[in-house]
Amino acid sequence: MKISVLGCGRWGSCIAWYLDKIGHDVISCGLPNAPELIALKATHKNDYLTYPESIEVTSDLEKAISHAETIIISISSQHLRSYMNDIAKYPLEGKKIVLCMKGVEVDTGCRLSEVVSDFVDESKTPIAVWVGPGHPQDYVKGIPNCMVIDSENKEVKNELVNAFSSDLIRFYIGTDLIGSELGAAAKNVIGIAAGMLDGIGYTSLKGALMARSTREISRLISAMGGNELSAYGLCHLGDYEATLFSPWSHNRCYGESYAKGEKFQKLAEGVMTSKALVKLSKEHNVDMPITTAIYNILFEEKNFEDELSKLFLRSVKQEF
């Protein structure tokens, strides 16, 4: 398959490396002035991996889109709409768009597939999402994992799962696009909460965090028309090891740094996602105490120890 991966950061470069490794014809495309692209063009390397010579690195968006049967986008979720303005200038009919990114648009509360659908006719340009656990640092060592591809288009998601599966990544066919997207986005918020618990030495509470946060995310998924069981699948609960415990998790590291009063310089998608999820929780009248606590800490300047403590002082209630 001819594939162009748009975005060459940590995850975008890993996707390009992986798809080339399993035999696809891959172009890796980034913004001209992006440090990640400049490094890859100069050395074919970054902090995580080395590209083989078979991967072409370019900043020519038109060339990348023209090349592709399948366009994979892996960028910061809050920049997707502006990037789609650029992508939509070129012919997209007959191509598939796959989103390898996790978030919810803050201004609108839209899932990322909904953002893309504002620019394309899905009957001619199908949209899919690729979510689930995994870090480049593990994949390049040959450590396998499982992921999910989901889409409203059954034929497309089946085709992509078959084309992208290997001994390194086992793909499952998603059956709930709403749940897959919301679950994947929300796990980054919970990753920040886990990091805060690590930062104050309350790591043992991460078990309770995992149980209760999955439950509140499932309520939102259900309220928005999805299957609440999706929260217990690979898109959310299945991604907790990589997000709540891994030293590679940007969101967990962000939360830990915040609790310690330190700066974390890399992208943590969960920050803006917490704002978007609180917006959705109010619109759909869903109680999301953990997500709201993280939002209050990050955007309302509430004391993080006070907010976390309040979660344990809530009125007595049944677990289920």
* Cα–Cα distance measured from residue 68 to residue 304, given in angstroms and rounded to the nearest whole number: 46
Q: Which of 24, 23, 26 is nearest to 55 (CA)?
A: 26
Catalytic sites, residue numbers: 187
Q: How many CB atoms lie within 10 A of CB 122?
A: 15
DSSP 232: G
* Cα–Cα distance measured from residue 32 to residue 36, given in angstroms and rounded to the nearest whole number: 10
| Residue 309 structure tokens | 């403590």
Q: How many CB atoms lie within 10 A of CB 168?
A: 16
Identify the three-state secondary structure at position 146: strand
Q: Calculate ∠ Cα 40-104-271, nearest 5°.
A: 75
Helical axes 270-283 vs 289-299, angle rounded to 10°: 120
**Cβ contacts of residue 77 below 8 Å, gap of 6+?**
101, 102, 103, 104, 105, 112, 185, 269, 272, 273
* Cα–Cα distance measured from residue 311 to residue 79, given in angstroms and rounded to the nearest whole number: 32
Q: Calculate ∠ Cα 227-219-192, nearest 5°.
A: 110
**Cβ contacts of residue 90 below 8 Å, gap of 6+?**
61, 62, 65, 66
Residue 50 β-bridge partners: 45
Radius of gyration of the CA atoms of the chain, in A? 19
Q: Are strands 169-173 and 145-151 parallel, antiparallel or unpaired?
A: parallel
* Cα–Cα distance measured from residue 293 to residue 260, given in angstroms and rounded to the nearest whole number: 17
